[in-house]
Structure 1
Amino acid sequence: MKNKTIDYILRATWQAVSRMYNEEANKYDATMATGFALLSIDREEGTPSTALGPRMGMEATSLTRTLKSMEEKGLIIRKKNPEDGRGVLIYLTDFGKEKRELSKNTVLRFNESVRKHISEEKLNNFMEVAEIINELIQNKDIFNQTENSNDEIAKP
């Protein structure tokens, strides 16, 4: 991957991970988005539907489709938020909690496998690089930089 751009490597890797998770989820008549939603919903307290999208990094229309499918499969139920009558809380059903454990174990297996093949030092470096990239994006430091700020990015 020597002559590949950073964004290409990130995208290709994420697509491979996504494909892997979707292939695994497909065995259980699910999707990666469903598994991620199951892991993002609080097991006991439920989660406001408005908080779920940002937590998952999903657009509202995709999230609505995912939640509708999950509700149809009996994984979640929606209840009015008692503190805010306009809002909705999403709760896992017992079946949803069961499938959540399956999703959790799948993610843990992936992490365990990666950790077996990559040293702790390399993983820490990867995490640090990913964190810096996220900060640069969140701070809008990629395309809104002054010429002098390029020097600061290169510093360790």
Structure 2
Amino acid sequence: MTSSPAHSPGLPELPDTELLRLDHQVCFSLQAASRAFGGVYRRALRDLGLTYPQYLAMMVLWEEGPLPVKTIGERLHLDSGTLSPLLKRLESAGLVRRERSAEDERSVTVHLTDSGADLRERALPVPRAVLRATGLSVQEVSALRETLGRLTDSLSRAV
């Protein structure tokens, strides 16, 4: 049985048997990098008392101010089943408050509390610490982020 070579722009032709190797899997490399990022973020966020997903939600609120839960979910690519408990924990910690819309009872808007807004100042060193941990330059991180964005868009269209 022969294997057909893989034809992909910019990649050398590889037989299927080679493509099946773990060290040729982009998804595995991304998963390993994600786990490593998780460790770096756990350490960087420890003093803030935030998990990485909570940090992302806070970043969205620090950038944009009060937002509907639905918009936060869209920005973070999270469904309401994942986002709702995360926001409840942030509310229990006194960092956000959720308000149901008077016009539409189904819509809930998330607001930063004063404590949540003040936490932004303490979070300012986090991105630079993570950047240092990557060992990459700002330009390399920017290019990687752009490539990953294109990858995400392509994969999203494929499903």
Band of TM-score, shorter chain: 0.7 to 0.9
How much does 1:115 deviate? 8.1
Contact 1:79 1:89 in 2 (8 A): yes
How much does 1:74 deviate? 0.6
1:63 to 83, 104, 129: 83
Contact 1:42 1:91 in 2 (8 A): no
TM-score for the superposition, normalised by structure 2: 0.71
Matched, 1:139 2:157: yes
Counterpart residue number, 1:47:
67
Question: How many residues are matched?
Answer: 138
How much does 1:119 deviate? 6.9
Matched, 1:118 2:137: yes
1:5-154 to structure 2, matched below 5 A, reads 5-41=25-61, 45-111=65-131, 113=132, 117-118=136-137, 120=139, 122-123=140-141, 125-140=143-158
1:47-72 CA-partner distances (Å, limit 9, x unpaired): 00111112112232221111111111
Does the residue aligned with 1:27 lie in a helix, a strand or coil?
helix
How much does 1:96 deviate? 0.2
Contact 2:61 2:112 in 1 (8 A): yes
How much does 1:41 deviate? 1.6
TM-score for the superposition, normalised by structure 1: 0.73
In structure 1, what is the Cα distance between the partners aligned to 2:137 and 2:63? Answer: 32
Pairwise CA RMSD: 2.7
Aligned-residue identity in percent: 20
How much does 1:20 deviate? 1.3
In structure 2, what is the Cα distance between the partners aligned to 1:96 and 1:123? Answer: 28
Structure 2: runs of 5 or more not aligned: 1-21
Structure of higher CA gyration radius: 2
